[in-house]
């Protein structure tokens, strides 16, 4: 892989060289590799097919998660969240001790390792919100909660410059990876002043289907605002908003 440095940046293919744009800039690479038909049928590539199958399953699982929490994710994500999430899910797939190689799944792996995953590397919840919070999940009722005791925002929140207000958000998703579907609900505080006065106690709650046997993912985040002439504007288009996995629960 080589970086394009000329004034004119190319896209497409010339001969055996492919030119393309990525998050790392304008790049070029040599077209090569093994014939696709051989990979699909040659016994020598059995491991490759197995790895490809599990990678594809992780990719679909990542898409299911992102689609489920999209209402919150659209306000707090970085450019590499797709690849980072897929990488984490591939690792989870490899912890599946139930199914044979090539058939391993996310839901049969150790999904607890996804706890703490940050959806925005530019604004991590773990480096932003220092007010302790507790989570709870009742599968019988489907209730999912998060609670924060009163705290001083300027003491407990490392907000980006220009912040005048913020809000805390929470969401929970019931994930059906096999069918690539989900059920999602979210809750949030009002937009609160970013000052030294203690907030009231914060209690956010959502209700998912009762008695679910599917994996449940809970996310917690914080969004920043700037007040200008009485109007609230997302600070820097949400570039530093934080969202992270706060709880993962499987049956």
For residue 247, pLDDT over 60 is answered with yes
pLDDT in tens, 95-108: 999 988 888 999 99
pLDDT score, position 25: 75
- The H-or-E segment that residue 224 falls in is strand 216-228
Residues 6 or more apart whose Cβ sits within 8 Å of residue 110: 92, 95
For residue 149, pLDDT over 60 is answered with yes
Q: Which residue from 237, 238, 223 is spatially nearest to 165, judged by alpha carbons? A: 223
* Alpha-carbon gap, residue 39 to 112, rounded angstroms: 33
pLDDT in tens, 123-148: 999 999 999 999 999 999 999 999 99
Q: For residue 146, give both structure tokens.
A: 């998060």
pLDDT in tens, 157-198: 999 999 999 999 999 999 999 999 999 999 999 999 999 999
Check: CB of residue 142 under 8 Å from CB of residue 207.
yes
Q: What SS3 class is residue 172?
A: strand
């Amino acid at each position: 892989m080589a970086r394009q440095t000329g004034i004119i940046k190319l896209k497409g293919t010339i001969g055996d060289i492919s030119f393309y744009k990525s998050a790392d800039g304008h790049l070029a690479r040599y077209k090569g590799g093994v014939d696709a038909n051989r990979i699909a049928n040659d016994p020598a590539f059995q491991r490759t097919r197995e790895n490809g199958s599990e990678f594809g399953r992780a990719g679909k699982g990542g898409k299911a998660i992102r689609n489920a929490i999209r209402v919150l994710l659209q306000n707090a994500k970085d450019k590499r969240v797709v690849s980072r999430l897929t990488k984490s899910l591939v690792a989870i797939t490899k912890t599946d001790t139930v199914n044979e190689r090539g058939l391993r799944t996310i839901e049969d792996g150790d999904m607890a390792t996804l706890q703490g995953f940050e959806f925005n590397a530019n604004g991590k919840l773990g480096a932003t919100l220092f007010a302790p919070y507790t989570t709870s999940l009742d599968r019988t009722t489907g209730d999912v909660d998060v609670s924060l005791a009163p705290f001083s925002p300027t003491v407990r929140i490392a907000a980006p410059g220009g912040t005048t207000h913020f809000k805390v958000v929470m969401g929970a998703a019931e994930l059906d990876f096999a069918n690539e579907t989900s059920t999602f609900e979210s809750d949030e505080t009002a937009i609160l002043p970013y000052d030294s006065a203690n907030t009231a106690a914060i209690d956010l709650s959502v209700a998912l289907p009762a008695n679910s046997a599917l994996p449940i993912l809970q996310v917690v985040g914080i969004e920043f605002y700037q007040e200008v002439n009485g109007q609230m504007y997302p600070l820097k288009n949400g570039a530093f908003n934080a969202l992270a996995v706060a709880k993962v629960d499987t049956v």
